[in-house]
Amino acid sequence: MTEAAFHPVTVATPFFIASIILEIVLARLGKADAHYETKDTAASLGMGLGSTLAGLLTAGMILAAMTWVYQHRLLTIPMTAAWAWAAIFLLEDLTYYVFHRISHERRFWWAAHVNHHSSQHYNLSTALRQTWTGGLAGAWVLWLPLAWLGFPPAMIAIQQGLSLVYQYWIHTEAIRKLPRWFEAVFNTPSHHRVHHARNAVYLDRNYAGILIVWDRMFGTFQPELDEEPCRYGLVKNMATFNILRVAFHEWAGIVQDVARRPRHALGYVFGPPGWSHDGSRETSAMIKARAGSEPADVEAGGLTPNPAAGAG
Amino acid sequence: MDHAFFVQLALSMAAVGVLVALAAWANIAKPSSPLDERRARDLLAYEFPGRSLDAIWVASDGAGALAKSGGLALVICQAGDGFAARQIPWAQAISASFRNGKLCVDLADIAAPRATLSLPSWPPTDLAA
């Protein structure tokens, strides 16, 4: 079985639309904390629609790769077993954490992910501001080991879909904090607000998909602080709502940098976002060190791996 | 691609249109007053920490500001209900086109192509060099 008969995102689409309407109406009535700006909303929803279309271009290639790996699997894991679903839940969520962290800490994958962080708003429409270039950036290879282990591609696709649907509802300011036990285990609106904030203390934190425990385990967790209200967007915010610029600006920036400094191509492509050969720009780690929100163990312009290099 | 795909695409586009129209009707953008000098200085201090300002010009409509900081021009421009900031060489700001009370600054950035500021005059005669 290689094709998912159940697509969680497709099933959830009416819920996405209804919940955005609800958030806007409640905010309008003063019953919910939410802000929508027209051009920003159009850009977010346009990116979401475009992402669906762009995904079709690479879906076949990804499915073929996943199927080929599955044909060379170690084990055969049954889709009907409860333990198998528990295992895929944990392993897929861990894979998502790794993917998401790389997507912030290495510019090549940040170029595909940056658009999701390019809004200065944080509302349910922001959740739909999705990548157009994720398939081409190739981070989907991180999920191939699950097929090699023996999880059917359909099972992996369903779990990926469930994770995306889970992550949708946490893009809101309308929900402040949830019960402590829930905040301790799961990714929540509060944790994910931190992830979308550009405040130095919040940069490159809370990469979780569903379980926040990965961030707690790997040292990238940051709680939302009452004294530090989130400022959303990028370290260098966009001054345009043109969705072509939203989708491709970081890729264009990489091409420009490599063309100007071909000797430093490796750093400009695979270094942390903000890396420059002469230290004239700032990575997230440098910003955090300057702001005093992290020990200053960062070499300016260096390529030292660090937990904070993306922006937003 | 089958018929169902195009139906789904058309419905999605219609839904996007409805949601954008609803957001426009709701008028729930972030409340923000036009920039005055104090607020422009606060924004510049946040966006460019540690930079001292030699001079500052705030757009007459409060939709942006430009400051001289040594050899750099620090520019703030409105983006929806928020702001974006960039730094460019001062010489680039000085040579920006100024017509009908609008200064159009090329920010040389794909993510922030240009800033348009309403100013009474440009360039400033005392700081043009």
Quick: pLDDT tens for A37-54.
999 999 999 999 999 999
Distances (CA, A) of A72 to A1, A3, A65, A135, B44: 14, 17, 11, 23, 57
Instruction: Give the pair of three-digit tokens for residue A138.
Output: 């190739």
* Helical ranges in B27-102 per DSSP H: 37-47, 90-94
Average pLDDT, chain A: 93
pLDDT at position A159 over 80: yes
Task: Please report the pLDDT score of residue A306 as a whole number.
Answer: 35
Instruction: State whether residue B53 sits within 8 Å of chain A by CB.
Output: no
Cβ contact, residue pair A37, B20, below 8 Å: no
pLDDT mean over A227-234:
97
Task: Please report the pLDDT score of residue B128 as a whole number.
Answer: 56
pLDDT mean over A58-69:
96
Which residues make Cβ contacts (< 8 Å) with residue B52, sequence separation at least 6? B69, B70
Helices first, then strands: H and E counts in chain B: 3, 7
User: In chain B, which residue's Cα lies nearest the Cα of A39?
Assistant: B80
Q: Is A76 exposed, middle or buried (0-12, 13-18, 19+ CB in 10 A)?
A: exposed
pLDDT at position A308 over 60: no
pLDDT at position A225 over 80: yes
Interface test with B, best of A13, A41, A235 (most B CBs within 10 A): A41
**Tokens 């049954």 belong to which residue?**
A78
Chain A, chain B: beta-carbon pairs less than 8 Å apart: 111
Task: Compute the nearest-CA separation of B78 from chain A (Å).
Answer: 7
Query: Do the beta carbons of residue A27 and residue B26 sit within 8 Å?
Result: yes
Cβ contact, residue pair A239, B84, below 8 Å: yes
User: In chain B, which residue's Cα lies nearest the Cα of A38?
Assistant: B24
Q: How many CB atoms lie within 10 A of CB A184?
A: 12
**Tokens 């036009």 belong to which residue?**
B34
Average pLDDT, chain B: 94
Instruction: State whether residue B4 sits within 8 Å of chain A by CB.
Output: no
Closest CA to A156 of A43, A2, A33: A2
Higher pLDDT, A302 or A13: A13
Query: Per residue in B17-52, pLDDT tens?
Result: 999 999 999 999 999 889 999 999 999 999 999 999
pLDDT at position A136 over 50: yes
Interface test with A, best of B6, B18, B28, B81 (most A CBs within 10 A): B28
Interface test with A, best of B2, B32, B109 (most A CBs within 10 A): B109
pTM of the full structure: 0.92
pLDDT mean over A153-174:
97
Coil, strand or helix at B28: coil
Closest CA to B73 of B105, B117, B109, B98: B105
Instruction: State whether residue B11 sits within 8 Å of chain A by CB.
Output: no
User: In chain A, which residue's Cα lies nearest the Cα of B50?
Assistant: A290
DSSP class of residue A1?
-
* The residue count for chain A: 312
Measured between CB atoms, which of A28, A42, A253 is closest to B26?
Answer: A28
Q: Report the alpha-carbon distance of residue A117 to residue A113 in Å, rounded.
A: 7
Instruction: Give the pair of three-digit tokens for residue B4.
Output: 């169902």
Q: Which residues of chain A neighbour B19 with C-beta distances below 8 Å?
A: 17, 20-21, 24, 41, 45, 125
User: In chain B, which residue's Cα lies nearest the Cα of A246?
Assistant: B111
Strands ordered across the beta sheet of B114-118: B97-99, B102-106, B114-118
Instruction: State whether residue B129 sits within 8 Å of chain A by CB.
Output: no
